[in-house]
Structures are given as structure tokens and as C-alpha cells.
Amino acid sequence: MKLTDNIYFYPETGMLDANTYVIKDEMNILVDPGASRKTPSLVRAMQKDGIKPEDIKIILNTHLHLDHYEGCQDFKKLSGARILIHPKQEEFYDYSVNQVAQFFGMPVLEFKADAQIEADIFKNSPLGLEIVYAPGHSSDSICFYSKKEKFLVCGDVIFQANTGRVDFPGGSAARLKQSIEELSKMDIEYLLPGHMDIIAGADNVKKNFQYVKNNVFEWL
């Protein structure tokens, strides 16, 4: 589903899946492929929007929880896109991939990247893309922010009227609150989370940050 000329939203399809976003920029990016089982329907939905798998050049993840990265290899096979890993995702790989699998008593699915995200990856980005490190739900959470289109792909940091859990290995309530405080200062028209619906409109985004600070922070 097209949100703006440059951002497309493909909602999660149930348990152990996540919302997927396509960012059309200098290089087209797929963020969080989600569950492996979703790949065929994801590709069909993208094609309806005029996006072919091979149009995607890089696959990125907001953090390395299975519900976000499981489909990376499936989508890579169809698209030929490169899977990139952020330095914080390498540093905290053991927490997010191995220890979270243990936490759920599930087998570990290795996350295989082709390369690390280069420091200057977005230097020619027409959207003015930036990576914002926002730990708390996990130690390796990053967000993708466009100055020009004012969208924030925020993974599991904040949702509609809620936040990501902080009880998984690598989670921290104090760090999540700090991350949300920082994000709430940004100019955002589209808040694009890893689960549940998106939030559109600067006022609605502001209200959601305020709601979360007033009603959710005390329970973390």
C-alpha cells in the first residue's frame, strides 16, 4: 500500500510477522521482510504497487528479532538485494538472535548479512535518510528517518498507544524511555511501527508520544 510517492506499507499477517516497508530512494530499500511465509503475498502486494522484487537493492532490519528478519533470505533469493547489518546489530547479535530464541525455547535462525551498513550509505539520499539508534526494546534497535518526507520507521520502539516489550534479553525500560523521549522531539508526519497500524499526521503522532509517556511509561 502506497503511503507517499516514496514509502509503501505492507502490514503484518499474524503471529511472528512484522510490518514491512519499502523506501524508494537513491537505492530502493526493503525494511523488515517479516515472516518467511509472508514473502509470496508480500511480493504480490508490491507488484500491485508497481514494485518488482528486483527493484529492491538493499534489505535492512530495524532490529534482529526473528519476526522482523526471518524472511530476509527468502526475499534476497527473489530480488538479488544485499542484506546489510548495522554495527549495533553485529555488536548485540547474541542478545537479539541467540538469547531471544532461547527465551522462547525456539531454534536459532542465523541472520546472514552480506555486508555492514556503510557509514555514508545515505550520503546521496534524496529523502535525506538517517539512521537513529534507539535501544530499549532491544540493544540493537535502529530507526530510519527521512527529513524530507518526515517519516520514521521505528520498529518495535513505539506503537499506537504502546511501546515494545522490555523484558527480552537486551531490553531496558530506562533506555527505551530515553529513546522515546529523543524520538518525540523529531518532526514526524508518518510514524511507521513494526506492529499494528501506522500513525499519520503530525498532531496524531505528537498525541501518541504524549499518550505513551503519560500512560505506558509507569508500567515499564
Q: Which residues bind Zn ion (CB under 5 A)?
A: 18, 65, 67, 156, 194
We find the least distance from the C-beta atom of residue 34 to Zn ion, in angstroms, to be 9
| Contact (Cβ atoms closer than 8 angstroms) between residue 65 and residue 12 | no
The 3-state DSSP class for residue 173 equals helix
Our CB check for Zn ion shows the closer of 53 and 171 to be 171
Our CB check for Zn ion shows the closer of 18 and 46 to be 18
We find the least distance from the C-beta atom of residue 134 to Zn ion, in angstroms, to be 12
CA 205 to chain centre: 17
We find the least distance from the C-beta atom of residue 102 to Zn ion, in angstroms, to be 15
Strand residues in 73-216 grouped as ranges (E): 82-85, 115-116, 129-133, 142-146, 151-155, 158-159, 162-163, 190-193, 199-200
We find the least distance from the C-beta atom of residue 207 to Zn ion, in angstroms, to be 23
Strands of 151-155's sheet, edge to edge?
129-133, 142-146, 151-155, 190-193, 199-200
Our CB check for Zn ion shows the closer of 49 and 103 to be 103
Residue nearest to Zn ion (CB): 65
Our CB check for Zn ion shows the closer of 74 and 140 to be 140
